[in-house]
Structures are given as structure tokens and as C-alpha cells.
Structure 1
Amino acid sequence: MKAKSYVVYFLIVLSVFAIADEDVCDLCLNSEVYKDKPSPESGGLFNKCSAFQSRSCCTNETAYKIHLEGPGALYNLVYNHCPAEKNMSSQCRERFKEQDCFFHCSPNIGPWIENLPNSTRQKPRNMPLSAETCNAWYEDCKDDYTCTDDWSSGWDWSTGINVCKSGSVCRKFSQYFANAVTMCENLYPGEYKVVENGQTRLVFWFDTDVNPNDQVAAEYAEQNGLRCHANRLHFGNLFLLLTTVFCRNM
């Protein structure tokens, strides 16, 4: 009987620690440009990414590359891909920097990460984006030009940088996307879901000492039964409880 009890207690302990390791508020996407887990960047993060330096999924090298364009930039990405029509405005470029810093550096994406089918890759799905953030992004980019309505798969990468696919047409963002919500939810398909202000929502950038997205991620995790560092079991109390029960059955 005692042997069976030992096995039960041992399995309980193993299961609890296994669950505790699945902390969605301590995750980064599994890609080489991300850290394994969020951590502080003691040397700071470059420019727009500095909001996340106290706890970040990116290194300063990645943050710096986000602010470059073309060869040497993160993914060698070219934002100014319709120069014949108009160079991308500084206001629009700043909004993309904010989005890129959030996507690569934020420690708060974990609750929305999903594993892609038949792949080791991951992708966040339906992150609740603030309508205010979305509207500002659209307003600052609507008169700029792009040649695709899908920035995830709408490029020709054969030269090592993203160029417009053959047959694509450079149009204003407002011609590809009729409104802010359409742009924010489809430019990177499936990654964002715009929610009205007043609801639990994420923002791309902030200038406060406290990251407002920490609370958003923790609330979402709690509402969906996910483990977040804010609701971890207190292992000291758990250990005392298990020890007490174990001793009583000795």
C-alpha cells in the first residue's frame, strides 16, 4: 500500500512541475532571431525597440537590424519597394518599426503562439491589437505605396531581398486596404485581431516604465486556462502540502 502511495505522490510532483514549465508568459517564438526565453538587455535595445529592454525576446543586434533596410537588415527586408511612385514616408516607416519591434522583441506574444501543421515553425494567431494602435498605423501609411496585400507570402525572394512579384502593381495602402481593420488583420494574415478600445488589447509601443502588455497577456492566459508566471503555483506551499500528506501515510 505504501509503495503505491509513493508512486502516486511521485507522479503528482512530476505532473505539477511539467505543467509549471508550460509558462506561456515566458515564451519566445522558436526562431534563430529570437531568444529562448525573455530576458533583460542590460545594454539596452536600439531606438524604437527600447521599450522592451527590461524584458525582451530579441537581442540588441536584432533590434538594430529592424531599423535597417535591404541587405544587412532583418531578413534583408526592403520597405521602400515602390520608389518609382513614392519613397515610404518617415511616419509610415516608424509605424513598421514599432510593429517589428513588438513582434520580435515583446515578451508578451506567448499566449497566442501556435505550432504550424507539419512544421517546427510557430506563428502567433489573433493577437488582440488595440484599435487605436491599428488606426495610427493605417493613418500614417494609407498614402504610401506597396505592391502586395500580404507581407508574409506576397514577395519574390529570388534575389535574396523582397521585391514585387511579376505582374504585381504598386498602389497606395488605402487602395489595397479599404480601412484600418482590413489592413491590420490582413497585412500579416491571421496574426492580429483588432479589438475596440476598452477591451483587453495589446499595443505596439509604450513610453512607460511598466509594459502594459504584461497584464493583457496574463489576463488572456487566465481566461483561457493557460499557465502564466502571474498565476504559478507557490512551490514552497505545494512541497509542504505533499510532505505533510506523505508523512501521514508513512
Structure 2
Amino acid sequence: MAQLVTTQVLFLLVGVAAVWTARPRTELLNVCMDAKHHKEKPSPEDGLHKQCSPWKKNSCCFANTSREAHKDISYLYRFNWNHCGSMTPACKKHFIQDTCLYECSPNLGPWIQEVNQSWRKERILHVPLCKEDCEQWWQDCRTSYTCKSNWHKGWNWTSGYNQCPEGAACHPFHFYFPTSAALCSEIWSHSYKVSNYSRGSGRCIQMWFDPAQGNPNEEVARFYARAMSEATHCVLGPPLLSLALMLLWLLS
């Protein structure tokens, strides 16, 4: 029991450590990234399409962005989900949800980082996805195929959209992503990480939600933004958080 309590406390401290490393920003709540297709500020967007529709009341994406997010090869990034044959609809659903979260959510402020990339000036890093979301994503993609574990880079773009690089073999997802944690953390260069918390806990980001019940990610963003604010006034500062992270690895 003592170890369980200690582990839970350490997970909380690690969450604080994650926001500690986020870039300095005066606003962490209700903000949009400075990226390729994002609005400057979130606002209502009644025309959001299908799986992006939960963000209608307050969105960082435009209606046309939400429609393109549902296409196999859209103008957004010219990314081909079917690079190793047809991706199953159950698997593709999660990638559409992933795209909608990335493009539309105004609740990712605590995890926004500055980057020097031609197509964006900011990205997200280590967003704690609820463990059920990661697990279901992984389970639903087990029968689909891919040829890479990091989808951010290393593709052959000579055709105008991504194709497997030379020498990369197509295998079922679990070959490149042996666990749900591997899928969530590695596929987009650590944009996400699997959380120890469950949906509805107020401590992890849900990839999708029922808008009739409100947006649960607002509470999550407030929690981590508050933790970041309190961490900046912590007497022991980053060394304590680094120690917490080290102890967590030892206990895991």
C-alpha cells in the first residue's frame, strides 16, 4: 500500500515536471499553437466535421481543416494512412481523432513547446493521454500495417505523399509498437505519452469526448497549468522534480 501511494504521488510530481519543462508562456489556458493550420485564437466553429465536432463550441481549427482531417490524403500534410495497404476503419478512426485533437483543441497549452520547423513554430510534447485511449488505439490497430515507428520523419516523399523508405518492411502495428505506451509515445516523436490515469480523472487528456457532457480536457489543462504555476514557486525547484522522476523509474 505504501508503495502504491508513493507511486501515485510520484506520478503527480512527474506531471508537474512535464509542465516545468514547457516553454515560458503567459497564457496556458484556452490557447492555440502557432502551427500550420491553427487559428490565432480559439473561437466557436459550428461547421466542424464528424469526429472534430466535439470542439464546435471552442476550437483552434477551421471547418475546412476538420473536413480534410477525415480524408486519406488531405492537403493538411499530404499524409497517406494507407502506406502499407488499407488501414482498417477501426484503426483509422483513432488517427482522425488524433488529428482533430491536435488541430482543434484549445486545451493543450501546458504542453506547447517552441520549435524551429518550416511548417510550424510550436508543437506539443508529452501530452498525457488517458490510458484507455492509448490502449484502445493500440488494440484497434493491431491488424493494420505500417513500416515505421516514428511517423514524423524518414518517409519517402518523392511522390508528393509519404511512402515507406527503401528497405523498410511492412509489418503489423505490434511489430513496430509492441505496447500501447510505445504507440502513443513514439509515433509522433513523443507528442503524447500514456498516462497512469483514466478517463474522467481530470488528470489526463481524452482524445475524444461527448460534447453533451462538456469538455473534460478543460479541467485537465487547468490542473497542469496550476501545477506549473506552483512549481515555479517551489523552494526546491527542478532538483526535486528530477528526483521524483528518477524514483518513479525505479519503482516502475
State the TM-score, normalizing by the size of structure 2. 0.75
Q: 1:180–1:166: structure 2 CA closer, same or farther, 3 Å change rule?
A: same
Report the secondary structure of 2:129's partner residue: strand
Determine helix, strand or coil for the equivalent of 2:100. helix
**Residue 123 of structure 1: how far off its partner (Å):** 1.3
Is 2:205–2:220's contact at 8 Å kept on the other side of the alignment?
yes
| Counterpart code for 1:206 | F
Find the residue that maps to 2:113 and give its secondary structure: strand
- Is the CA contact (8 Å cut-off) linking 2:35 and 2:123 kept in structure 1? no
Specify the alignment match of 1:24 in structure 2. 28
* Structure possessing the higher radius of gyration over alpha carbons: 1
Q: Does 1:220 align with 2:224?
A: yes
Deviation of 1:74 (Å): 2.1
Cα offset, 1:73, TM superposition:
3.9
Post-superposition offset of 1:186: 0.5
Structure 2 partner of 1:158? 158
User: How far has the Cα of 1:152 moved from its partner?
Assistant: 0.6
Map of 1:89 onto structure 2: 88
1:56 aligns with 2:55: no
Q: Give the corresponding residue for 2:105.
A: 106
Correspondence 1:49-198 to 2 at 5 A: 49-70=52-73, 72-83=74-85, 87-116=86-115, 121-198=121-198
User: In structure 1, what is the Cα distance between the partners aligned to 2:96 and 2:80?
Assistant: 12
Give, in angstroms, the shift of residue 111 of structure 1.
1.3
Identity of aligned residues (%): 35
Distance 2:93 2:30 in 1: 27
For 1:229-248, what aligned pairs fall within 5 Å after superposition? none
Distance in 2 of aligned mates of 1:123 and 1:208: 25
Report the secondary structure of 2:29's partner residue.
helix
The verdict on how the C-alpha distance between 1:170 and 1:59 changes in structure 2, with shifts beyond 3 A counting, is same
Tell me if 1:203 matches 2:206: yes
> Match of 1:135, SS?
helix
Tell me the CA shift for residue 118 of structure 1.
Answer: 8.5
Contact 1:150 1:186 in 2 (8 A): yes
Deviation at 1:207, TM superposition (A): 1.1
Q: CA RMSD in A?
A: 1.8
What amino acid sits opposite 2:154 in the alignment?
A: G
TM-aligned CA deviation for residue 81 of structure 1: 0.8
- Equivalent position SS for 2:224: helix
Q: Deviations over 1:105-136 (max 9, x none)?
A: 11111111011268872111111110000001
The residue that corresponds to 1:241 in the other structure is: none
List per-residue Cα deviations over 1:7-50 (Å, max 9, x = no partner): xxxxxxxxxxxxxx922113211123000011110x33101000
Letter of the 1:135 counterpart: E
Q: TM-score of the superposition, structure 1-length normalised? A: 0.76
Report the counterpart of residue 34 of structure 1 in structure 2.
38
How far apart are residue 157 of structure 1 and its match? Answer: 1.7
Q: Give unpaired runs (5+ residues) of structure 2.
A: 1-24, 231-252
Q: Is the 8 A contact 1:28 1:110 kept in 2?
A: yes
Distance 1:101 1:62 in 2: 9
